[in-house]
Structure 1
Amino acid sequence: MKKAIVLGGQTGSGKTSLAIRLCREFGGEIISADSMQVYRKMDIGTAKPTAEELAAAPHHLIDALDITERFSSADFVALASKALEDITSRGKLPFVTGGTGLYSQMLFNSFSLSQSGGDPEVRRALAEEAAERGADALYAELCKADPDSASRTQPNNVRRVIRYLEIFRVTGLTPTQMNEINNSGKREYDPLYICLWSADRKLIYSRIDARVEKMFASGLEREARSLYDAGLENAPTAGAAIGYKELFPYFRGEYGLEEAKELIKRRSRNYAKRQQTYFKRIPGCVFVDIDGDPYKTVKELVLAHLER
């Protein structure tokens, strides 16, 4: 089987810099598993690799789409599969790098919503919608998004309707489509899952805070303003991305800049918690503490995986 490395982890854990060092060591190339770095014109707020970093190692799925295009997990699988084939055909080692664990699991046919725990926030939002709009409205949405699943349940089975809609909103796929991906052909790749994390929560939080401050010093407010002026505040791209969506209300005068900045930090910290929780549910995922220099540990893990 072809080898692949998945380097995931929390926001601010140093995935990009470590992946570049590993690419130099092992002759690898990076496939970005980030739901927002795929878009052009969203650079600072997504902590996209710098020009120097992009030059230091080949990157795939960076600046691949226009900001107005939708990008689902299924789209990621399609693009990343082509990149995997290209990289391995040239004898290179693919490093799938990013904090979106769902993407890497689906890429390697190992995703299960029940195993991953799904997305509690999406589930909670759907439950609130059911209470506000009624079960029939939610069922009508399911009929439009996933007629096959809708035909197998009743409108009054709210729990199941919510579950099916959760799958669709999280993955962009119906359960039938997910099964087709998970059962499609033989699994050609043998991925090693590595998650960078910190046992010291204060360390990762301080990194996140410093990262946000650096973003503002680099021009995040200006970048977000250009998206706002382009009418993208409600787009499923910029309108959903931490670092941008907090600044849009500031531009409307709803609160001050410092409040927006603190909101970005707080939501980034909460996102880091969810990232760690997600990777904990991936079978066989190895956690490497970032306290100090994790390069040696990760390098040894990669060597052992390649020799298996």
Structure 2
Amino acid sequence: MKGIVIAGPTGVGKTELSIKLAKALNAEIISADSAQVYEEMNIGTAKIEEDEMQGIVHHMIDVVEPIKKYSVGDYQRKVDDILNSNEEKNVLLVGGTGLYIDSVVRGLSALPESDLAIREKLMSEDGDKLFEILKEIDPESAESIHPNNKRRVERAVEVFYQTGEKFSILSKKNIKGNNFKFLKVALERDREHLYDRINLRVEIMMQNGLLEEVRYLYEKYGDVLKKINIIGYSELISYINQELTLEDAKELIKKNSRNYAKRQFTWFKNDHEYIWYDLDKMTQDEIFSDILQRFNAL
């Protein structure tokens, strides 16, 4: 079973290429975007519209209500179910959320879900005392975790209490839930060109009714919506609450989107399995042909 990952920063141009490849390979597309799993958050997440899909089946879009917690573990389990029930089908995993992509391609660590009773007990402990416990049960973790990072210390101690195994060992054991082999490609552009595209996309989102979408969702869900902390929504909620002017909110959306793109670059560049294609130096047809050739040889 084979698939293709198409990764890259926000606004780079993943959607158009993914549709073209999906049509050529008779493939289905699985979104790897941590914002697009939320229902009703359409404009601000640049969610693909039905006519843009061109008949290609898309998964992992509109999965949960904005008020629901959704973890990378939830995402991994759902995508593995999709893959394991469609093993004869080619798939494209498309998006910019590196953690989501890695959970499918490499699997997640074998760490257990948090135990609230244990966590509450640990939260009540003095931080210095907790770090001394960590040094006794898992000196490797104590070497890598700063004593002031109490939440991380709590988690490492909690995992040991839950499993009897060291956090430093379990956190490096990944469990993969599917048998797919993925060709990993990533798209990039000249940095200034990408930032121009991001700025323009924010302007288009505003023209298409992003403020009205945020106002509607904020009235429907209240402050819970702020906790998701999705770019475009958080800034406009601040405007609605008269904490920012509309112009300042819009400029902040652009700035935060650009900073997010930088973080995405860093994440994907640190993974040397990716084959990079520069959309400012190659035509889409050239990239398309090269990916197909590499996929067929996989």
Q: What's the secondary structure of 2:6's corresponding residue?
A: strand
**What is the RMSD computed on CA atoms of the aligned residues?**
3.4
| 2:187 corresponding residue in structure 1 | 196
Deviation digits for residues 8-51 of structure 1, max 9, x if unmatched? 10110111121111100111111010101011010001000012
Q: What's the secondary structure of 2:91's corresponding residue?
A: strand
| 1:5 corresponding residue in structure 2 | 4
Greater displacement, 216-225 / 155-164: 155-164
| 2:24 corresponding residue in structure 1 | 25
* Matches of 1:108 and 1:191, distance apart in 2: 7
Corresponding position: 1:165 with 2:139: no
Question: Which is higher, the Rg of structure 1 or of structure 2?
Answer: 2
TM-superposed deviation, 1:68: 1.4
The gaps in structure 2 that reach 5 residues or longer are 110-122, 156-166
How is 1:144-163 mapped onto 2 (pairs within 5 angstroms)? 152=138, 159=146, 162=149
TM-superposed deviation, 1:271: 0.5
TM-superposed deviation, 1:82: 1.1
* Matches of 2:153 and 2:49, distance apart in 1: 35
Corresponding position: 1:233 with 2:220: no
- Counterpart residue identity of residue 245, structure 1: S
* Matches of 2:7 and 2:150, distance apart in 1: 26
* Matches of 1:216 and 1:289, distance apart in 2: 28
TM-score (norm 2): 0.79
TM-superposed deviation, 1:138: 9.6
| 1:127 corresponding residue in structure 2 | none
| 2:70 corresponding residue in structure 1 | 71
- Counterpart residue identity of residue 208, structure 2: S
- Counterpart residue identity of residue 149, structure 2: I
* Matches of 1:160 and 1:176, distance apart in 2: 19
TM-score (norm 1): 0.77
C-alpha change, 1:234 and 1:64, in structure 2 (3 Å) is: closer
| 1:118 corresponding residue in structure 2 | none
* Matches of 1:256 and 1:235, distance apart in 2: 20
Corresponding position: 1:109 with 2:106: yes
Whether contact under 8 Å (1:96, 1:104) holds in the other structure is yes
